[in-house]
A and B are shown apart, each in its own frame.
Chain A
């Protein structure tokens, strides 16, 4: 039990470090410069731009860890110290139900390989970010300066008002798959839609839901173009203005692991997790695929990570090309545009599920 927890924490932080490096390389590429090249072995840097400087984030992390983190005197100590811890906790807790892959080596039936495939997976994923909402609020309020308070309020308002369209957008796949657990959703996507084997992915029946979820996910994880709360130009990095050293590193890592979680949920729910359309066998048929023990586990893992990282690249690409949205446009867009759209998506998905149920004998 304990080993699994440590494994999650290690995987998350290493992944976050890698993401920061990837982000800086991508942003470099978009801005026609090379991104970090200096830290890291020289000869790799010569070989190609993509290999250079992969040691950069490690240097940043160690610098941040050893930097003396000052707690300003007029600060509410409990809230100030607690906020980054809770943010990190929530960022890691969201990894639990994600279905990385599946294997049918042991049992007769496919078992999803996840840290713990809860049968309330999606609801858990929607519930845990409410911890980040609380911690951003406490961070903004307890660092007792006007800018961070403004930043804290803005981010809470943004996250709360984008949670509702997100839940409705996720409702579509739940109806189609008939269960909350992510493993079942991915399994439901392996069969085809209306009998055609290739249209299995849920992005096809609930396209609107996928788009709405993608936008809400960007807003939830405070990434540009919705990063009004910590916009340097106005609020001086918003709620984490007073933080430095290790605490700031925690906020930073949490933001990046949030980005990865969001893209992996998007792959699991909309892009058919570990399933390759047409090739991955439906759950009951388990024999033909595993030549070596756990081979289908590895294949699933590779397919899942390819999809997750492609969604992440789109996230990063958006980050470096868009201008920041103004808070009141944000609110109008969220309430007046996304919410009705996501409710419409729920109706569309129920119709498709009903048709599926009557004519083709149901998905799961």
Chain B
């Protein structure tokens, strides 16, 4: 058994392109599942499969740091939070019809149109990078910005991009406080906030929208 992976002969067979297309295919299929599946919990699971494949694609595109981060942040935190939200709000056993008659076609039409537009711009443009790359390579910063190794990312992150890095931490702190404030009972808010917010069920289903359940 070859004792180390990285001296395996890569170039004889385009394994990474093949892998890329597998990941892309699985990602797109699970993406479709997310939008079409009846039960939201299954949509959640499909979304997680999609995130994992995206992490695979990042690894293939030469930056494993981003792949690990994606796994950690998206699959570990955001997806778990979404699943928690689904559990809190969804009644498991009675799947409800989720779209009215005309709505899917409008959405379909809009997104297909957008995709056509994007596809045209992408395939027609010629990305002439050769000239551009070496012109910026000799720029002032000591870090070699062309090699995507983790140490370079770290250095680049903290020297030229130090300010946005701190800003991001402020944003996350603000979200933390906002989320906690939202989760508390609203009856703390001043009395004139209309119907008491924590009445278990809103007094009357708004007559305008017929109950669709």
**Chain A contacts to B: CB under 8 angstroms:** 1, 3-4, 7, 74, 76, 78-79, 82, 103, 111-120, 123-124, 126-128, 130-131, 133-134, 137-138, 141-142, 144, 156, 160, 163, 179-180, 294, 297
Contact = CB atoms under 8 A, between A and B. Distances in A.
A294 B84 CA distance: 50
B186 to A, nearest CB: 25
B64 A119 contact: yes
Contacts of B75: 127, 130-131, 134
Contacts of B15: 1
Given A119-B150, A120-B65, 17 more contacts: A1-B5, A4-B1, A7-B1, A74-B93, A111-B3, A113-B4, A114-B4, A118-B64, A120-B68, A126-B68, A131-B71, A134-B79, A138-B83, A141-B87, A144-B93, A163-B76, A180-B150
A137 B83 contact: yes
A117 B3 CA distance: 11
A78 B42 contact: yes
B8 interface: yes
Given A82-B45, A115-B5, A141-B87, A126 B64 contact: no
Interface in B58-81: 64-65, 67-69, 71-72, 75-77, 79-80
Given A79-B41, A123-B65, A160 B3 contact: no
B48 interface: yes
Most buried by B among A117, A123, A128: A123
Given A119-B64, A119-B149, A156 B80 contact: yes
Interface size range of chain B in the complex: 20 to 34
Contacts of A142: 41
Contacts of A134: 48, 75-76, 79-80, 83
B41 A76 contact: yes
Interface in B67-119: 67-69, 71-72, 75-77, 79-80, 83-84, 87, 92-93
B45 A78 contact: yes
B45 A130 contact: no
Given A74-B93, A79-B45, A124 B68 contact: yes
B151 interface: yes
Nearest to B149: A119
Contacts of B77: 130
A50 B68 CA distance: 42
A127 B72 contact: yes
B41 A133 contact: no
Contacts of A137: 80, 83-84
Given A1-B8, A4-B1, A79-B41, A160 B80 contact: yes
Nearest to B42: A78
Closest 10 A/B residue pairs (Cβ): A130-B76, A127-B71, A123-B68, A127-B72, A116-B5, A127-B68, A120-B64, A120-B68, A124-B68, A120-B65
A4 B115 CA distance: 40
A135 B202 CA distance: 35
Interface string B142-163: 0000000111000000000000
Contacts of A118: 64
A120 B150 contact: yes
A3 B2 CA distance: 10
A153 to B, nearest CB: 9
Contacts of B83: 134, 137-138, 141
B72 A126 contact: yes
A294 B69 CA distance: 36
Contacts of A114: 4
A141 B1 CA distance: 42
B76 A127 contact: yes
A117 B6 CA distance: 9
A267 to B, nearest CB: 20
B104 to A, nearest CB: 23
A3 B67 CA distance: 24
B183 to A, nearest CB: 15
B80 to A, nearest CB: 6
A123 B69 CA distance: 8
Contacts of A133: 76, 80
Contacts of A116: 5-6
Contacts of B3: 103, 111, 113, 294, 297
B83 to A, nearest CB: 6
Contacts of A297: 3
A3 B1 contact: yes
A141 B45 contact: no
A144 B69 contact: no
Contact of B41 (A111, A123, A141): A141
A3 B48 CA distance: 28
Nearest to B151: A179
A111 B6 CA distance: 11
12 contacts: A4-B2, A74-B93, A79-B41, A111-B3, A113-B3, A113-B4, A124-B64, A128-B71, A133-B76, A142-B41, A144-B92, A297-B3
